[in-house]
With several copies, the nearest count.
Chain A
Amino acid sequence: MIEQLRKDFPLLHTQVDEQTLCYFDSAATTQKPQSVIDAVNKFYQQENANVHRGAHTLSAAATTQYEAVRTKLADFLNVAAKEVVWTKGATDSLNLIAYGLSDKLNKEDIILISPLEHHANIVPWQQAAHRTGARIETLPISPQGILDLEASKQLIKTLQPKILSVCHASNALGNIHDVASLIDIASRCGTITVVDGAQSFLHLRPDLTALGCDFFVFSAHKALGPTGVGGLFGRYELLNDMPVYQTGGEMIERVSFSGTTFRDAPGKFEPGTPNISGVIGFGAALDYLNAIDDSALAHYEQCLYRYLVDALSDIGGVKIWGDIKQNIGVVSFTYKDEHHFDIATFLNTYGVAVRSGHHCTQPLMEHLSLSGTVRVSLAFYNSYQDIDTFIDALKDTIDMLEE
């Protein structure tokens, strides 16, 4: 199956610096299947027009396609289409939500996040806290970087936060969080729950109704889709209740110099010309995901991950950080005191593309007393051969460093 799927991703077959590419940076952005590339291509060649309020055929067709993807996404996430807002990406989504919920915050209130969050799920809340006087608190994690679930539940009960915002899976370490059980407790405290699904969208395909969260954010480019588009889910009542964020065309009901009125959600949050080709390309990505057996795929990803963890664990001096039991397929490691950048640079000369650094999670790195890690992030289109190549390259690199 995987050999067949790999053929759908043209980039996996390119040569980089005369080496066959082993792409292990899917947590930063995934590669795209040909069908997604074709959909974008076809849009510009045959269907390109601006959406909404156009009387001509191309514009009507583009609008229909664009809105159909909203419905497709809503089905994928098991929510209603009107609860889905298109944005520029997960960062844009989190900014919109943190701004939109600020009205509900005052200086008695607590925003609870985890120390594992991506900067995109920290800084917008810091800004909201700054505006409103609310306080940010963090959930407890182990020295290894694993969320302490029981203590977290306890803390939620004790603090009764106004907002709980956590990632479904950590981009730096790959840890999967049992967000459903946190949300369960939080909801009973009247807490508004936000899930950063940037990393879980592809690997865990969450059912948001089952999760029970109030908000959920993601980026298309991390789930086989184009860059420059993402979205958010918001429980309709809460969503529609938020004040408008960005303003301009499309999102208004009526503009006049004496006063302006806005549309209902999701319209009110979508001013201006959207990323039409991006949404349509993402529609093709959802079709692609819907067409493959996701349990088989998840199983394969887990086998690949085990294989990688086992091989790495056999190398003396390598330390793997985070939770290796519940993981979306991301390995973050260090080798002795060697600098992550040196390791990544040498690996790159073997065609092995990994990421090194703080992965936009500086507070987590500080907690782990690290300047950064080397991160190997898998997707279903990786092969066992890729991992063998990586392990060989890493051994060579270590030999060189130890010379």
Chain B
Amino acid sequence: MDITQIQNRLNSLSGWQAKYREIMMLGKKLPALPEALKTPDALVQGCESNVWLHLDLDENQERLVLIADSDTRIVKGLLAIILATYNNLLPHEAKEVDAYELFEEMGLIKHLSPSRGNGVKAIIERIKAQVNAFQ
């Protein structure tokens, strides 16, 4: 599913039970990160649970490739949304995207606990910083 499909799907569901279930399912589809890649420098600071994130350019050194994992299913689902947003974009395209705003549009930020919301923000900030470093 691309990000628009995810967005439509989440918006179509009523009630937080269904939405969180869907988010969790998105997480399930994300492959687990090999233990070897769960390195300290891949850990995103500022998240309550563990979040590991790697961001790189593809073999042509063109488009973004992100892989990520978390020890909680729901955060992993949130990561799936973030990855769907950024994966495969050109760096200059990624600069135009504001995933946090997207989360806000879906009403997710308002419903997440503030520390969880700050975690999402920390992940997105980290992506932005790395994308900027590519240019």
Cβ-based interface call for A350 (8 A): yes
Cβ-based interface call for A9 (8 A): no
A 335-357 contacts with B by CB, 8 A: 338-339, 341-342, 345-346, 348-350, 357
- The answer to whether A345 and B20 have CB atoms under 8 Å apart is yes
- The answer to whether B73 and A64 have CB atoms under 8 Å apart is no
Residues on B with beta carbons closer than 8 Å to the beta carbon of A53: 48, 113, 115
Other-chain residue from A60, A349, A350 in contact with B112 (beta carbon distance below 8 A): A60
CB contact under 8 A between A341 and B74, given known A346-B17, A349-B15, A400-B24: yes
- The answer to whether B73 and A59 have CB atoms under 8 Å apart is no
CA distance A240 to B71 in the complex (A): 31
CA distance A59 to B112 in the complex (A): 11
Residues on B with beta carbons closer than 8 Å to the beta carbon of A338: 73
**Looking across the interface, which residue of chain B has its beta carbon closest to that of A52?**
B115
Interface size on B, residues (CB 8 A): 20
- The answer to whether B72 and A17 have CB atoms under 8 Å apart is no
**Looking across the interface, which residue of chain B has its beta carbon closest to that of A393?**
B17
Cβ-based interface call for A67 (8 A): yes
- The answer to whether A400 and B74 have CB atoms under 8 Å apart is no
Residues on A with beta carbons closer than 8 Å to the beta carbon of B75: 341
Within the complex, the shortest CB–CB distance from B57 to chain A, in Å, comes to: 32
Residues on B with beta carbons closer than 8 Å to the beta carbon of A67: 114
Cβ-based interface call for A190 (8 A): no
**Looking across the interface, which residue of chain A has its beta carbon closest to that of B75?**
A341
CB contact under 8 A between A342 and B113, given known A349-B20, A400-B21: no
Residues on A with beta carbons closer than 8 Å to the beta carbon of B113: 53-55, 59-60, 63
Cβ-based interface call for A401 (8 A): yes
Determine which residue in A54, A57, A345, A371 has the highest number of CB atoms from chain B within 10 A of its CB, and name it.
A345
- The answer to whether B17 and A350 have CB atoms under 8 Å apart is yes
- The answer to whether B114 and A349 have CB atoms under 8 Å apart is no
- The answer to whether A342 and B24 have CB atoms under 8 Å apart is yes
Within the complex, the shortest CB–CB distance from A69 to chain B, in Å, comes to: 13
CB contact under 8 A between A339 and B49, given known A346-B20, A349-B16, A349-B17: yes
Interface of B is mostly: helix
Residues on A with beta carbons closer than 8 Å to the beta carbon of B21: 400
CA distance A54 to B117 in the complex (A): 12
Residues on B with beta carbons closer than 8 Å to the beta carbon of A52: 115
Residues on B with beta carbons closer than 8 Å to the beta carbon of A17: 16
Within the complex, the shortest CB–CB distance from B40 to chain A, in Å, comes to: 14
**Looking across the interface, which residue of chain B has its beta carbon closest to that of A400?**
B21
Within the complex, the shortest CB–CB distance from B7 to chain A, in Å, comes to: 20
CA distance A357 to B48 in the complex (A): 9
CA distance A177 to B74 in the complex (A): 37
Within the complex, the shortest CB–CB distance from A80 to chain B, in Å, comes to: 16
Within the complex, the shortest CB–CB distance from A317 to chain B, in Å, comes to: 16
- The answer to whether B71 and A339 have CB atoms under 8 Å apart is yes
Residues on A with beta carbons closer than 8 Å to the beta carbon of B25: 403
Residues on A with beta carbons closer than 8 Å to the beta carbon of B115: 52-53, 63
**Looking across the interface, which residue of chain B has its beta carbon closest to that of A396?**
B17
Residues on A with beta carbons closer than 8 Å to the beta carbon of B49: 339, 341
Residues on B with beta carbons closer than 8 Å to the beta carbon of A357: 48
**Looking across the interface, which residue of chain B has its beta carbon closest to that of A57?**
B111
Residues on B with beta carbons closer than 8 Å to the beta carbon of A59: 113
Residues on B with beta carbons closer than 8 Å to the beta carbon of A63: 113-115
- The answer to whether A342 and B114 have CB atoms under 8 Å apart is no
A 362-403 contacts with B by CB, 8 A: 371, 400-401, 403
Residues on B with beta carbons closer than 8 Å to the beta carbon of A342: 24, 72-74
CA distance A53 to B117 in the complex (A): 11
B 7-26 contacts with A by CB, 8 A: 15-17, 20-21, 24-25
- The answer to whether A345 and B74 have CB atoms under 8 Å apart is yes
5 closest A-B pairs by CB:
A60-B113, A339-B72, A349-B17, A349-B16, A63-B114
What would 24 A/B residue contacts be, using CB atoms closer than 8 Å?
A: A52-B115, A53-B48, A53-B113, A54-B113, A55-B113, A57-B111, A60-B112, A60-B113, A60-B114, A63-B113, A63-B115, A339-B72, A341-B48, A341-B72, A342-B24, A342-B74, A345-B74, A349-B17, A350-B17, A371-B71, A400-B21, A400-B24, A401-B73, A403-B25
Seed contacts A55-B116, A63-B115, A341-B49; 18 additional CB < 8 Å A-B pairs = A53-B115, A54-B113, A55-B113, A60-B112, A63-B114, A64-B114, A339-B49, A339-B71, A339-B73, A341-B48, A341-B72, A342-B24, A342-B72, A346-B17, A348-B16, A349-B20, A350-B17, A401-B24
